Amino acid sequence: MTNGNLYDANVCISCRERLEALPETISLTAGEFELLNRPQRAYSFAIPVRMDDGSVKVFNAYRVQYNNALGPTKGGIRYHQDVDFEEVKTLAFLMALKTSLAGIPFGGAKGGIQVDPRELSEGELERLTRGFVRAAHTFIGPRIDIPAPDVNTNSQTMAWIVDEYANISGAYEPGIVTGKPLELGGSLGRGEATSLGGAYVLDQYIKDSGLQRNELTIAVQGFGNVGRNIARILSGWGYTIVAVSDISGARYDEGGLEVETICSEKEGGCILKEAKSDAKHLSNEELLALDIDVLIPAALADQITEKNASRVKAKVILEMANAPVSKEADAILARQGTVIIPDILANAGGVIASYFEWAQNAGNEYWKLDEVNKKLREKILGAYTRVQERTLHNGYDLRTASYEVAVERILKAEKLRGNL
């Protein structure tokens, strides 16, 4: 491998570090490393928005199409005040690996707008979203690059994108995004697919380890859509959820929480700090340090770092957020014997279901929920099996095995296309 040119603005620093961390047994040529080291296309936009008070604010926006060797690029768009270009590059890289590992015909992309959506009215958010489509419409499309919901975006955001894209193109193209409302061509099961996919993977790992569901304790850090749904699913399967957290802090009961009650309160607009539950109130940092069997980070990136990794006592970490464990923390946890089920496998259910939605749009079809969930289980457990086979054969940890499987498929496609 080579370090590449650190002064090349196109290089993804975090991506390079992740590739360099792979063992020497996963040998990449200099050309292969350089190809994976940077996105194929990266766009930066300045989006002016007329605010409700008549003033104009300009927001920074980004879209990165990391690799399209396997098909049109695919990835969410997030609205967050801390979004920056390097973060979007890294998330697009992870999405490229995720789609490859899942065995679906997509490349990887990601987008973000630097905004705190809590400070905007719904009308301002709509104008911001439509402004993004006007800026980016020539670079996206159902056969080019397909956005989806991510942090602080949802089906309504996707509906605005569908409508604005139709206004510009003059044709209705529901496949321009996934995660849409059902009425606009969305798919049954898409909203819960990320969580259900993660639950399938964790449950299979638990079975393979000879453990029993009712013997395990689980904490979920982050109680948005993904965190709530996976807590619900796992609780329904007989797992004991002892702690959950949101931005206000955590609730903890060593005997098990009333998950459905807390979920209902959260969906009603209540923050966990103000929930009626009698469960003990903890900080997010205290939740990460609980003596439990499984920790599920389902919030943002870099929640477990070199500063707090040594305090993590969970035996298994299921990464439902993207990159919740830093590279430095990864090494510390490995020394502690913590098993990490990596994000590109654990949370791939969302992009798998997005592929199903895109396929339904292309064929003007609507699949039943049971069909979607059955296909999801087959796809994600197929990826899990490929990873487990690699770990057993080569002695890799799950992250290394996942990266190897994903990178091999991308590079094979690049060779077949004549790019290597």
Q: What is the DSSP string of 92-142?
A: HHHHHHHHHHHT-S-EEEEEEEE--GGGS-HHHHHHHHHHHHHHHGGG-BT
Q: Is the pTM of this model over 0.85?
A: yes
339 and 210 inside one domain: yes
259 and 338 inside one domain: yes
- Residue 140 in any domain: the answer is yes
Q: Quick check: 220 pLDDT over 70?
A: yes
155 and 228 inside one domain: no
Given this model, what pLDDT does residue 276 score? Answer: 80
Residues 238-257 have a mean pLDDT of 94
Give the Å distances, CA to CA, from 330 to 155, 187, 303, 345, 414. 33, 35, 12, 16, 29
Strands 249-252 and 240-246: antiparallel
Last residue of a domain, one of 346, 370, 403: 346
199 and 103 inside one domain: no
Could you confirm whether 375 is annotated as catalytic? Answer: no
Query: Please, which pLDDT band fits residue 2 given cuts at 50, 70 and 90?
Result: very low
74 and 166 inside one domain: yes
231 and 315 inside one domain: yes
109 and 213 inside one domain: no
In the three-class reduction of DSSP (H, G, I as helix; E, B as strand; rest coil), residue 181 is classed as coil
Percentage above 70 pLDDT, the chain: 98
Q: Quick check: 3 pLDDT over 80?
A: no
Question: To which H or E segment does residue 58 belong?
Answer: strand 56-67
Last residue of a domain, one of 346, 377, 398: 346
Least confident of 73-87, 157-171, 258-272, 339-353: 258-272
93 and 45 inside one domain: yes
- Residue 405 in any domain: the answer is no
- Residue 419 in any domain: the answer is no
Question: To which H or E segment does residue 77 belong?
Answer: strand 77-80
CATH number at residue 335: 3.40.50.720
166 and 201 inside one domain: no
User: pLDDT per residue over 312-337, tens digit each?
Assistant: 999 999 999 999 999 899 999 999 99
- Residue 370 in any domain: the answer is no
| Maximal C-alpha separation, the chain | 63
User: pLDDT per residue over 355-377, tens digit each?
Assistant: 999 999 999 999 999 999 999 99
Q: Quick check: 186 pLDDT over 70?
A: yes
Domain count for the chain, please give it: 3
Give the Å distances, CA to CA, from 239 to 43, 164, 256, 297, 318. 43, 43, 9, 17, 14
- Name the strands in the sheet holding 249-252, side by side, starting at the edge strand that comes first in the sequence: 280-282, 249-252, 240-246, 217-221, 294-297, 316-318, 339-341
165 and 219 inside one domain: no
Last residue of a domain, one of 316, 346, 376: 346
Query: Please, which pLDDT band fits residue 6 given cuts at 50, 70 and 90?
Result: low
User: pLDDT per residue over 221-230, tens digit each?
Assistant: 999 999 999 9
With b for 16 or more beta-carbon neighbours within 10 A and e for fewer, the 94-122 pattern comes to: bbbbbbbbbbbebbbbbbbbbbebeebee
Catalytically annotated residue among 74, 89, 110, 180: 110
Q: Quick check: 100 pLDDT over 90?
A: yes
The residue range of the domain holding 288 is: 192-346
- Residue 365 in any domain: the answer is no
- Residue 113 in any domain: the answer is yes
